[in-house]
Amino acid sequence: MNLRFPSALAFAALAATVMAAGDAPPDSVKANYDVYKDGLHVAVMQESYERNGAKYHIVSESNPAGLLALFIRTKINAESSGSIMPAGLQPDHLAYGRLDDPSKNVGAAFDWNAQLLHMTFDGRNETVPLVPGTQDRVSVMYQFMFLDPDQLKLLAFPMTNGKKIEHYRYELVGQEQLDTPLGKLTTLHLAKQRERDENGIEVWLAADRHLFPVKVLFLEKDGSKIEQVITQLEFK
């Protein structure tokens, strides 16, 4: 991977921009994305994040779009809830599934006291050791709002999709100007370190909008690409 790291001076200037614009994480977020598979518009995603005291709740819903909506009626719903700690989000529960097929549902319960993760998927239950700092597939994209810019240079954390825990490492590719439906945005581009046989993930965080992900690119092992691009974003 050819990473284009910004100079120390450029990163310091960008970090100052992030800190000046970021302040405290917002109490609520509403975000909409268009989702593309190999360039074809296949879904719209609507998300909401709400903070209530020291607790949070995130809901993400995806619906087919474009020509796909004529043939597929599947709605995907994902929810994450938990606590807000000094280091950011600490999930307690994850639920993910297709509303038309409960057999595809996945759930995870985080027992931080016992340091155990209880997972339900494919009709069975499994329990594994819970690694400190673990995020779930929904909370992970909102955790960036709680990070300092310096943490983005090399970011490592465990993440669960409700079936297993994987260890992710992201490196800062560089600062990029990104054209979006919201206009031109200054972003920090992160890329997941991976082996040849692993899926890839790249994330673009808006520097002046609480380090919120405004573009995410999933690179599948078979060469296909899934891209989600922000279309609406509101903070309160």
pLDDT per residue of the chain (236 residues) written in tens, 0 to 9: 334 445 554 455 555 556 444 579 999 999 999 999 999 999 999 999 999 999 999 999 999 997 665 566 678 999 999 999 999 999 999 999 987 778 889 999 999 999 999 999 999 999 999 999 999 999 999 999 999 988 998 999 999 999 999 999 999 999 999 999 999 999 999 999 887 777 899 999 999 999 999 999 999 888 899 999 999 999 99
- Whether 176 is covered by a domain: the verdict is yes
Say what the pLDDT of residue 1 is: 35
Q: How would you class 107 by CB atoms within 10 Å of its CB: exposed for 0-12, middle for 13-18, buried for 19 or more? A: middle
Q: What CATH number has the domain bearing residue 225?
A: 2.50.20
Say what the pLDDT of residue 199 is: 86
- Whether 134 is covered by a domain: the verdict is yes
- Whether 97 is covered by a domain: the verdict is yes
Q: Provide the domain limits for residue 200.
A: 8-235
Nearest to 193 by CA among 159, 219, 168: 168
Q: What is the pTM of this model?
A: 0.89
Distance CA 75, CA 91 (A): 23
Say what the pLDDT of residue 70 is: 56
Say what the pLDDT of residue 6 is: 52
- Phi/psi at 144 (5° precision): -55, -30
- Any idea what DSSP says for residue 153? S
Q: What are the start-end ranges of the E strands in the chain?
A: 28-37, 40-52, 55-64, 76-85, 88-98, 101-111, 116-121, 124-129, 135-136, 154-160, 165-180, 183-192, 200-206, 212-219, 225-235
Say what the pLDDT of residue 108 is: 98
- Whether 14 is covered by a domain: the verdict is yes
Residues 6+ apart with CB under 8 A from 33: 44, 45, 47, 228, 229, 230, 231
Q: Contact, 75 vs 98, CB < 8 A? A: yes
- Whether 2 is covered by a domain: the verdict is no
- Whether 169 is covered by a domain: the verdict is yes
Q: How would you class 104 by CB atoms within 10 Å of its CB: exposed for 0-12, middle for 13-18, buried for 19 or more? A: middle
- Whether 168 is covered by a domain: the verdict is yes
- Whether 3 is covered by a domain: the verdict is no
Could you give the number of structural domains in the chain? 1
Q: Contact, 44 vs 34, CB < 8 A? A: yes
Say what the pLDDT of residue 197 is: 73
